[in-house]
Chains A and B, each alone.
Chain A
Amino acid sequence: MDVFGSFALVLAFICAVYAFGGGIAAIITRHPLLIKSTRQAGMATCCLIFLATFSLEYLFFSDNFSIAYVVSHSNRDLSTFYKVAALWSGQEGSLLFWSFLLAIYVFSVLLTYRNKNGELMPYVGVVMAGVQIFFLTLNNFIESPFKALASPAADGALRLVTAQDGRGLTPLLQYPEMVIHPPNLYSGYTGFTIPFAFALGALLARYPGEKWIHLTRKWTMIAWMFQSMGILLGAHWAYAVLGWGGYWGWDPVENASLLPWLSGTAFLHSVMMQEKRGMMKVWNVWLVFVTFLLCILGTFLTRSGVVSSVHAFANSSIGSWFVGFIVIILLTCFGAYLKNRDYLKSENQLDSIVSRESSFLFNNLILLVACIAVLSGTLFPVFSEWFTGNRISVGAPFFNKVNIPLGLLLLFLTGVGPLLAWRKTSTDSLKRNFGWPLGIGLAAGVIALVFGFRQFYSWVCLILCVFVASTVLLEFYRGAKVIRSRSGASYAASAVELAMRNTRRYGGYIVHMGMVFVFIGLAGAAFNRDIQKDMRQGDKLQIGPYTLVLQGFDTKPERNYTAQRLLVEVLEQNKPTMMLYPEKRKFSTTEENGTMVAIRSTLKEDLYVVFAGMNPDTQLPVVHAYLNPLVKWIWFGGVVVVFGTLVALMPNRRAVLVLSTAPQPVGQAVAHGLPSSVTLREGHD
């Protein structure tokens, strides 16, 4: 199967090269058969990548320990569930997985537009094939996952060998979210290839109008949604597995995932300016280019060892390949822009500073400043070493100080932007739209102060969250009221109807609401508390309203590890509430340890209990308990963000006139020019 997989990868590379070279020839000659054959070569590339990926998975499932990658990342006792995840747990497999996800996107695009947009698609196909060639080069020639296991013999020559068992999967990855977090994040990274291919293709083809924007809107939103899910699932994994009580540590790899999300978010907003007003064409094209570049840069940072990170893959020579690829992309983008920049001439006119257009400009400003600030902070240790010889650390306190004010500004604009009209917003409209939300926000702030809320940023965040939530709810309320007055349906049904009629707008509002929930959760971090104690059986530990009583300690042998488990009874206001079982796992194959945190999660707070291990001095179990307010709001907000994006991806349900046989006064029916038994009411197609 390893030969089959290798062969499929080589064939995929050849097909991709043909799709790229043949595609360029097809663009020049415009020969229909050549266009068709390059498209089919593109699809064949994808199918071959699928086969190679399934081959590697098969090698994991069949415990084929003659393959070096399988030996390094699996063992016989590893559960089937985690054997799936073993595919992307190392450098070689994760790069193949990247190619696999990219192939899914490319295949979908080639299939969806096989008979459409004939002028544009050859260009798009060439760009996509170019990206695939890069990753297939890595898969085939630099980091092949199908390398056979070899060991030096007595004469010094390498001999192929088969290991009895593998070294197993890193314990930190043996957690359910690790099976879904990387696929989501990678789907985000790879997904941004599609808008990039369309933007570059449209620029090269001088494709008229805003059609490329319409074509890529859904692909961009899908990539953005996966990126959001990937980031939040990664945060939840860090929270539930690493056992340090936090979910975001501004680690370089975390930052790398945030960068394209920030620029992608900016693009999703500014693209509306081009659709509605024909503005910011140059900006949008460059935002897409930058987003894709940041995806590649993030991968480079993760895999090159340039920055130190607990997440990073082992150092390898792969970094120089990424640098080369980034340079090629930059040169191509600049070249295409310089050659065809007149094609991007915008109809830039601004009627008023108080308008939706201005709010989008500032929204883009804040998102991009946050993006560049995170990027420069992440790379600063490298620069400081170059310039001064000393590596200067840039850790979480720096990123928090820089990004919290920016995040709050963005939150403010989240509330303001949607309520401003295109072109110009009148004073009356400002009063009507902002009066109540502003009043409610400020009232919440005053009440918070009265109740002793003294953390400045959390206080401002609370006011802004209330403000933004009010604006969103009022928008739904106003729209639903109009529908209700016509249809007589309930407010809830009218709100659903409203969202379905303009899914993009109201889906966007739901996403904003989700972000409000995320911010509420983030604001809670200012009130985190923790305590650590060596505990004997029967000892008590007090944290907030909870009393933790250590009831026992046991050891539980499992198939792949041995778990040491604490039995902790939780009393709330001295009443027994529940039992928690924090674990420490020792994995036999790797001799490494893993933590399973026990969490009692409510909307108010998380009681987060870690079995820190045995104190080497006292030989007593050490319990580290945290009380983290409002954390659940972050995960809930993530679900709402995804839901809102899915709503925005749905097609609009159009209000149409349908015939009804309800009895109506004669005069009214006549006025419509219809028979008296027929009347008009709102309906849907």
Chain B
Amino acid sequence: MTKARSFVACTMLMMFAAAPLLITPVGAEQFSDRTKQVGAKIKCMCKSCDMAAAICSHPGGAFSGPCDTAKMMLGEVDQHIAKGETDEQILQAFAQEYGPIVYTEPPKSGFSLLAWMLPSIYLFLGAGVVILVIFRWRKQTVQPAGSVSGAPGISSELLERARAQASRETQD
């Protein structure tokens, strides 16, 4: 390894190693972290926005930021937490009150489960197709017989084609 190479590698290492230092946890919160986490899973039901209760900001409204509805919902979350309920119980309570539309993400049950399954199905099906394609292409690959001994017999046209192909394949 040359000195220059080591220098470049060390500089890069130091540069990237410093990256995490840029990020430090900060700030105080008005609502507890857990309230906000749960609030991010329920939609603000003010019907004038389509945002989560935790981040509802009413673009274009006279008042931006958690509106009365969102604040009320976050307050409800606080009350549920105070009762010692789990996140799942709190979400269910909201679903009973507003219906399944209150969730910001589909529940993992019933018809909604399909929404969660579909991406995995696409991935597995797609991966299956790719693997199948790779094996098919591997099968089609024809090994040139006697390529060394046959070298003198290669026509100039074939040689030209091979050169053009090699040029294409090494350019990018």
Contact partner of B104 among A279, A393, A451, CB < 8 A?
Answer: A393
Contact partner of A369 among B60, B99, B110, B119, CB < 8 A?
Answer: B119
Known: A308-B50, A616-B63. A365 touches B127 (CB 8 A): yes
By the criterion CB–CB under 8 Å, are A272 and B27 in contact?
no
Cα of A624 to Cα of B80 in the assembled complex, Å: 26
How would residues 104 to 124 of chain B score, 1 for a CB under 8 Å from any chain A CB and 0 otherwise?
111100111011101100110
The reply to whether the CB of A246 lies closer than 8 angstroms to some CB of chain B is yes
Q: Which of A437-464 contact B (CB under 8 A)?
A: 440, 443-444, 447-448, 451, 453, 458, 462
Known: A369-B123, A502-B171, A613-B63. A397 touches B41 (CB 8 A): yes
Contact partner of A310 among B49, B107, B137, CB < 8 A?
Answer: B49
Closest 5 CB pairs of A and B: A544-B26, A529-B27, A244-B57, A350-B137, A395-B104
Contact partner of A377 among B43, B115, B127, CB < 8 A?
Answer: B115
Known: A348-B137, A440-B9. A531 touches B29 (CB 8 A): yes
Contact partner of B25 among A244, A391, A527, A603, CB < 8 A?
Answer: A527
The reply to whether the CB of A373 lies closer than 8 angstroms to some CB of chain B is yes
The reply to whether the CB of B83 lies closer than 8 angstroms to some CB of chain A is no
**Hey, which chain B residues are within 8 Å of A394, CB to CB?**
105-106, 115
By the criterion CB–CB under 8 Å, are A613 and B27 in contact?
no
The reply to whether the CB of B51 lies closer than 8 angstroms to some CB of chain A is yes
Cα of A13 to Cα of B30 in the assembled complex, Å: 59
By the criterion CB–CB under 8 Å, are A243 and B59 in contact?
yes
Cα of A676 to Cα of B86 in the assembled complex, Å: 89
Q: Which of A452-498 contact B (CB under 8 A)?
A: 453, 458, 462, 465-466, 469-470, 473, 477, 481
The reply to whether the CB of B162 lies closer than 8 angstroms to some CB of chain A is no
The reply to whether the CB of A674 lies closer than 8 angstroms to some CB of chain B is no
**Hey, which chain A residues are within 8 Å of B28, CB to CB?**
531, 542-543
Cα of A263 to Cα of B54 in the assembled complex, Å: 33
Chain A residue with Cβ nearest B102: A393
The reply to whether the CB of A361 lies closer than 8 angstroms to some CB of chain B is yes
Shortest CB-to-CB span from B30 to chain A, Å, is: 6
Shortest CB-to-CB span from B36 to chain A, Å, is: 9
The reply to whether the CB of A518 lies closer than 8 angstroms to some CB of chain B is no
Q: Which of B60, B63, B100, B101 has the most CB of A within 10 A?
A: B60
The reply to whether the CB of A629 lies closer than 8 angstroms to some CB of chain B is yes
- CB within 8 Å: A-B pair count: 245
By the criterion CB–CB under 8 Å, are A376 and B115 in contact?
yes
Known: A276-B168, A612-B63, A613-B61. 13 other contacts (CB 8 A): A361-B130, A369-B122, A380-B115, A392-B112, A396-B104, A397-B40, A397-B104, A397-B105, A401-B105, A443-B17, A465-B16, A469-B16, A615-B63
By the criterion CB–CB under 8 Å, are A398 and B115 in contact?
yes
Q: Which of B5, B19, B30, B126 has the most CB of A within 10 A?
A: B19
By the criterion CB–CB under 8 Å, are A396 and B65 in contact?
no
**Hey, which chain B residues are within 8 Å of A331, CB to CB?**
none
Cα of A243 to Cα of B17 in the assembled complex, Å: 33
By the criterion CB–CB under 8 Å, are B112 and A395 in contact?
no
Known: A368-B126, A392-B112, A398-B106. A243 touches B64 (CB 8 A): yes
Jot down 28 A-B pairs with beta carbons below 8 A, ordered by A: A245-B57, A276-B169, A277-B169, A349-B140, A361-B134, A365-B130, A384-B111, A397-B52, A397-B104, A398-B104, A436-B9, A444-B13, A444-B17, A448-B17, A469-B16, A470-B16, A502-B171, A524-B23, A530-B27, A532-B66, A542-B28, A584-B64, A593-B60, A595-B59, A610-B57, A612-B65, A616-B63, A630-B22
The reply to whether the CB of A171 lies closer than 8 angstroms to some CB of chain B is yes
The reply to whether the CB of A126 lies closer than 8 angstroms to some CB of chain B is no
How would residues 4 to 36 of chain B score, 1 for a CB under 8 Å from any chain A CB and 0 otherwise?
110011001100110111111111111000000
By the criterion CB–CB under 8 Å, are B20 and A245 in contact?
no
Contact partner of A243 among B57, B62, B140, CB < 8 A?
Answer: B57
Cα of A377 to Cα of B27 in the assembled complex, Å: 34
The reply to whether the CB of B97 lies closer than 8 angstroms to some CB of chain A is no
Cα of A250 to Cα of B170 in the assembled complex, Å: 40
By the criterion CB–CB under 8 Å, are A422 and B104 in contact?
no
Size band of the interface chain B makes with A:
35 or more
Interface residue ranges, B against A (CB under 8 Å): 4-5, 8-9, 12-13, 16-17, 19-30, 40-41, 43, 49-52, 55-57, 59-66, 99-107, 110-112, 114-116, 118-119, 122-123, 126-127, 129-130, 133-134, 136-138, 140-142, 168-172
Shortest CB-to-CB span from A502 to chain B, Å, is: 7
Cα of A397 to Cα of B27 in the assembled complex, Å: 23
Cα of A627 to Cα of B24 in the assembled complex, Å: 10
Shortest CB-to-CB span from B47 to chain A, Å, is: 11
By the criterion CB–CB under 8 Å, are A613 and B20 in contact?
no
By the criterion CB–CB under 8 Å, are B111 and A402 in contact?
no
**Hey, which chain A residues are within 8 Å of B21, CB to CB?**
451
The reply to whether the CB of A522 lies closer than 8 angstroms to some CB of chain B is no
By the criterion CB–CB under 8 Å, are A171 and B60 in contact?
yes
Cα of A339 to Cα of B86 in the assembled complex, Å: 60
**Hey, which chain B residues are within 8 Å of A298, CB to CB?**
none
The reply to whether the CB of A249 lies closer than 8 angstroms to some CB of chain B is yes
How would residues 185 to 227 of chain A score, 1 for a CB under 8 Å from any chain B CB and 0 otherwise?
0000000000000000000000000000000000000000000
Contact partner of A349 among B13, B129, B137, CB < 8 A?
Answer: B137
By the criterion CB–CB under 8 Å, are A246 and B115 in contact?
no
Cα of A276 to Cα of B106 in the assembled complex, Å: 44
Contact partner of B19 among A444, A612, A614, CB < 8 A?
Answer: A444
Contact partner of A392 among B26, B103, B122, B134, CB < 8 A?
Answer: B103
The reply to whether the CB of A505 lies closer than 8 angstroms to some CB of chain B is yes
Cα of A272 to Cα of B168 in the assembled complex, Å: 10
By the criterion CB–CB under 8 Å, are A242 and B43 in contact?
no
By the criterion CB–CB under 8 Å, are A473 and B8 in contact?
yes
By the criterion CB–CB under 8 Å, are A309 and B50 in contact?
yes
By the criterion CB–CB under 8 Å, are B12 and A440 in contact?
yes
Shortest CB-to-CB span from B116 to chain A, Å, is: 8
Q: Which of A466, A504, A505 has the most CB of B within 10 A?
A: A466
The reply to whether the CB of A353 lies closer than 8 angstroms to some CB of chain B is yes
Shortest CB-to-CB span from B24 to chain A, Å, is: 7
How would residues 369 to 402 of chain A score, 1 for a CB under 8 Å from any chain B CB and 0 otherwise?
1001100110010001001101111111110011
By the criterion CB–CB under 8 Å, are B50 and A627 in contact?
no
Chain B residue with Cβ nearest A611: B64
The reply to whether the CB of A604 lies closer than 8 angstroms to some CB of chain B is yes
